[in-house]
Amino acid sequence: MGLRQLFEDAAEIRDLALPPLQRIAVMRLLICITQAALEGPEDDEDWLPCRERIQPAVATYLQKWQDRFNLFGPYPFLQVAKLEPASGKSEGDLPSLDKLNFAWAAGNAHTLFDHGALSGKREISLPQLAVYVLTFQCFHPGGLLSDAYWDGEPISRSTTQAPCVEGSALLGILLGENLLETIHLNLIPKQRLISPEGETSASFGRPVWEFATPPKASSAEAEKVIRSYLGRLVPLSRALRLLPGTDRCLITKGLDYPRLPISREPMATVVPAKKGLSYLRISADRHPWRELHSVLVLGTVDKPGGPLCLHNIRRLYHDKPQVVVDLWVGGMEVDQAKLIDTREWLFSFTPSLLGESNLRVYQQGVSLALDHDSSLRTAVQRYCKQMNLESRGFTPRAVSMYWSMLDNFYPELIQLAEQGAALDLWEKRLLHCAFEAYTYACPAETPRQMHAFVLGRRSLFSFSKQGVHA
């Protein structure tokens, strides 16, 4: 489906069927096109009614800039037309197109269960290639790339992380009933790019494809791009050129985008750190429900809080506190320039959860879960001490079981927090899960094991205010 048809049918399209990184990249493109077409919205008052203007404004915009969305030609999409390989480089020395998809094995990037690279003749359609280029520009983790010349000038091979992967940030997108509503929910008014002190954190800017030629790093035009909201939404983090008629491409350093705290990623959650601010990280082995109270804080461009689009919920549903809101979160976890994993989750809640007192209840529930984690560790250690065993083999097993169970029950905490209710029922759930995990990790089959089990269980139950038997 092309961009024109996508926007024409946006009210009938339920959602994007894409893996996590591609979902983020394509949504950023759609949001960027929409806000460039609207030249706004200006503020919260302008945001609410702008939904009706989206489709006609985008149709006009795509007609004006249609030649900038082609993969090949004088203005190749998110590419540098005047990029040439370094002297002495043959076509066979250049990266294959497989490098543009992080899920595929290519070069030094070995991926389990990906056998498509063995034949060396993987089929990639042009629509797929367009999505891969877009995702690559948003998420490339950095490292050394090819030697190349940009308009005759040599380019540094060393690259930093692309904007969407900075700090392995957990990124959030509000989901509506259809794609048009989803786009509308995630638009950021210009006024929200200004701090409460009146300082502009980022200019609204222009998308990079509107420039006649991609701006080189350190140029005046490049500064306008990298420090602007629209310039960051769809970045040119890598100088890239597809070679027509081949399965090869040129990839080298593009623009370096400012990092936190100079520039804030609008889809990320910013949290306090020992030295200033940092992004809430995605973790492949840690469900983000434990940090949902941080994600749902209504922050600003220069203050801690979740994705800037969250303010739209309060604006749209201020008189509908029981409407269910869907927040999709996901991203890529990296270790320097090494890709670790990509993950995604979906949270459903009502706007009442955004209240400070409700979020405080939720945070208290998470703190209680951590306290029971500590009591579980103590119980296992007491069991192992009585059995004269090393606890290193038992504690991880119990703790993993405990959090795996809670990963299925956290919606109960969301419901209690939405109501501002007491956490007695949640604490009973925590004790039940802790006891089940303790039973799973610490066998009680022999008389000696039974004695050790009872001693450890006393530590577990003595912690709980309820003293409820699991």
Domain count, the chain: 2
Q: Are residues 341 and 369 in the same domain?
A: no
- What is the span of the domain harbouring residue 422? 355-463
Return the pLDDT at 433.
Answer: 95
d(CA 103, CA 83): 26
Residue whose tokens read 């890598």 = 238
Q: Would you give the distance in Å from CA 470 to the centre of its chain?
A: 37
394 domain-assigned:
yes
Nearest to 459 by CA among 395, 386, 393, 377: 377
Q: What is the DSSP string of 125-179?
A: -HHHHHHHHHHHHHH---EE---EEETTEE--SEE---GGGGGGB-EEEEE-SSH
The reported pLDDT for the residue numbered 470 is 41
- Co-location of 249 and 363 in the same domain: no
Whether residue 418 sits in one domain with residue 336: no
Residues 137 and 20 in one domain: yes
Last residue of a domain, one of 353, 368, 388: 353
Under 8 Å between Cβ of 267 and 299: no
Question: Is there a domain that residue 470 lies in?
Answer: no
Beta-carbon neighbour count of residue 319 at 10 Å?
Answer: 7
Length of the chain: 470
- Residue whose tokens read 């949270």: 347
Q: Are residues 244 and 139 located together in one domain of the fold?
A: yes
Give me the residue label for tokens 């999409």: 77
342 and 364 housed in the same domain? no
pTM for this structure? Answer: 0.92
Upper half-sphere CA count for residue 407 (Cβ side, 13 Å)? 12
Residue 289 lies in a domain: yes
Q: Are residues 180 and 256 in the same domain?
A: yes
Within a 13 Å sphere around the CA of 70, how many CA atoms are in the beta-carbon half? 11
Amino acid at 169: A
Going residue by residue through the chain, which has 470 residues, state the pLDDT in tens, using 9 for 90 and above.
Answer: 899 999 999 999 999 999 999 999 999 999 999 999 999 899 999 999 999 999 999 999 999 999 999 999 999 999 999 998 887 677 767 888 888 988 876 655 555 556 555 555 678 899 999 999 999 999 999 888 888 888 888 888 888 899 999 999 999 999 999 999 999 999 999 999 886 554 445 689 999 999 988 998 878 889 889 999 999 999 999 999 999 888 889 999 999 999 988 889 999 999 998 888 999 999 888 899 999 999 999 988 888 999 999 999 988 887 777 899 999 999 999 988 888 889 999 999 999 999 999 999 999 999 999 999 999 999 999 999 999 988 888 999 999 999 999 999 999 999 999 999 999 999 999 999 999 999 999 999 999 999 999 999 988 887 664 444 44
Check residue 120 and give its pLDDT: 58
| The domain boundary residue, chosen from 312, 334, 353 | 353
Does 116 fall in a domain?
A: yes
Q: Answer yes or no: do 359 and 414 share one domain.
A: yes
Q: Tell me, yes or no, whether 425 lies in a domain.
A: yes
Cβ contact 344:412 at 8 Å:
no
Tokens 């370094």 correspond to what residue? 86
Using a 10 angstrom Cβ sphere, with 0-12 exposed, 13-18 middle and 19 or more buried, the burial of residue 387 is: buried
CATH of the domain at 407: 1.10.132.100
Shared-domain flag, residues 389 and 316: no
Last residue of a domain, one of 324, 353, 382: 353
Beta bridge partners of 300: 303
Taking alpha carbons only, the member of 209, 329, 195, 267 closest to residue 28 is 267
Using CA atoms, how far residue 124 sits from 18, 130, 412, in Å, is: 16, 10, 44
Same domain, 319 and 366: no
Q: What is the structure's pLDDT at 202?
A: 66
Backbone angles phi, psi at 347, to 5 degrees: -110, 135
> Is residue 170 one of the residues assigned to a domain?
yes
Confidence (pLDDT) at 89: 73
- Residue 88 located in a structural domain: yes
Judge if 316 and 397 occupy the same domain. Answer: no
147 and 178 fall within a common domain: yes
Q: Is residue 62 part of a domain?
A: yes
Strand 338-349 to 325-335 pairing: antiparallel
Task: Tell me how far apart the alpha carbons of residues 448 and 204 are, in angstroms, rounded to a whole number.
Answer: 69
